[in-house]
Structures are given as C-alpha cells and as structure tokens.
Amino acid sequence: MTRDEYYAFVEAVNAAEKISLRECEQADEARRYFEGCLPIEVLAARAPDALAFGPMRPVGLRDPRSGQRPFAVVQLRQDNVAGTLYNLVGFQTNLKWGDQERVLRMIPGLANAEFVRFGQMHRNTFINSPALLRPTLQWHDRDNLFFAGQITGTEGYAGSTAGGLLAGLNAARLARGAPPVTLPPTTMMGALFHYITYTEPVRGAVGRADFQPMKANFGLLPELDPPERNKRQRYAGYAARALADLEAALVEQKVS
C-alpha cells in the first residue's frame, strides 16, 4: 500500500460497523485481548499508524515494480496446496461481514477476491491455572490428571509444545513410580509454568480476568545478578544460567 492507500484503509476500518460486544465484555475490553493478536479495528483506533507498525509492517520488503519500500503491506499465507486459498495474516477482526468485505477489497490486489471465510475473533478458553494446577502441570488434587497447551493459559506454539513435553515426561515418570519434575524458573519453560501456576488467580465467580494467558518472553525471567544492560550479553547470560540451573535441577531431581 502507498501512504494514501494505507490511510484510506485505516479510515475505512475506523468507520466500519463492528459487532457489538456484550456488556460484560465491554467493561473489560482493555484487557480482553492478547496484545500479540489484537483485532485490526482495535489497533486502527489506537493510532493511525498502529497497523503500519504491527501486522502491516513493511520491513524488509521492496515493491519489485518500483524498488521502493511500501508504506504498508498485508501478508497472504497460502492455505491449500492448489494455491487458490489464502488467509490474511494478523487480521483478526470483529468487523461485520458486509463492511469487512468492503474494507478488505480496498487492499490492492484484493478488489476482485472471492472471500471464502470472513475474519472473526477466536476465543481462547483457559482454566484458572494459578488455583488449579501445580508447576508439574498436574491437577491440584489429582496426581494423574495433567494439563498442557493453551488451556493452561500459555499462549503460542512454543508454549503449548513445551507444556506437552513437561506433562508427557511427568505422566511417564508417574507411571514408572518416579516423582514428577519441576523446572527452574530461570529456564523459559520453568518461568512460564511458574507464572501460570503462581500468578494471582482469577477472583470471583464470573472471573474478573486477573489471570490472562502468557507467552514465553524474557520478562518472565528473574534478573541476572548482577544485572546486565547489554542486550546480547543479557540474553547470553540468561541462556547460560538456564542451562546450568536445568542441569543442576535434573541431577537434584534424579532425572536421567
């Protein structure tokens, strides 16, 4: 998109009709969405340039026709082998379908696209892990019930896979009569499972959403001692500490 095309698109998104949220959702709108996958209309309403710095960021791309960097781009991800079906990456939305079609057709190249399925919000259902799970990913009062994946309140592929790994290892250990392991909170996996099992739980019957899904990120790790200001060295320090602590924890918990 050129600058003009982009701002016309943002204006159209802002003016488009949205599905109205239920009252309880409206009250909690600010904290309802995971920051990593905000609907396009929420981003557009925050600031005119927010989409251009988010899912429409043109980093590393040049228009092959002009050699110029575009002002904004959309990414089409191929969805079938025949190459006839594509999805628009990062375009979660609550725009009503009629308006959605009109607005999306403003994207250069999509004026005559056939829309097979319109964008909609996905709902992420998760249990109140801080109150219900142990850091071994076992149910709080039943040893042989394990949870893993986004239902535990971890977010994303890596977090889900990591949860499956730990829950699987611990289920196998339990079956062999060995105690389940916990991972040090200085490792990314340990930090994530520590977060979901120790953070402040949801309060009240309808769940004032104090506990929200969490993605693996460096903010979960305890600071290095002494703190390291240089980013590369800090990450290298996190990695070295994680490996050393993991090694020690596995020896201590007799994991071979």
Query: Which residues are near ligand FAD by CB under 6 A?
Result: 122, 149-150, 155-157, 160
As measured in angstroms, the least distance from the Cβ of 152 to ligand FAD is 8
Q: Which is nearer to ligand FAD, 41 or 155 (CB)?
A: 155
As measured in angstroms, the least distance from the Cβ of 183 to ligand FAD is 18
Q: Name the β-bridge partners of 78.
A: 86
CA distance 83 to 90: 19
Radius of gyration of the chain (CA): 22
Tell the burial category of 177 from Cβ atoms under 10 Å away from its Cβ (0-12, 13-18, 19+). Answer: exposed
Identify the sign of the CA torsion 101, 103, 109, 111: positive
Q: Which is nearer to ligand FAD, 2 or 160 (CB)?
A: 160
As measured in angstroms, the least distance from the Cβ of 92 to ligand FAD is 7
Q: Which is nearer to ligand FAD, 104 or 237 (CB)?
A: 104
145 in helix, strand or coil? strand
Q: Name the β-bridge partners of 76.
A: 88
Q: Which is nearer to ligand FAD, 217 or 253 (CB)?
A: 217
As measured in angstroms, the least distance from the Cβ of 177 to ligand FAD is 28
| CB neighbourhood size of 84 (10 A) | 10
Find out whether 96 and 28 touch, Cβ atoms under 8 Å: no
As measured in angstroms, the least distance from the Cβ of 38 to ligand FAD is 12
Q: Which is nearer to ligand FAD, 151 or 249 (CB)?
A: 151
Q: Which is nearer to ligand FAD, 22 or 122 (CB)?
A: 122
As measured in angstroms, the least distance from the Cβ of 186 to ligand FAD is 22
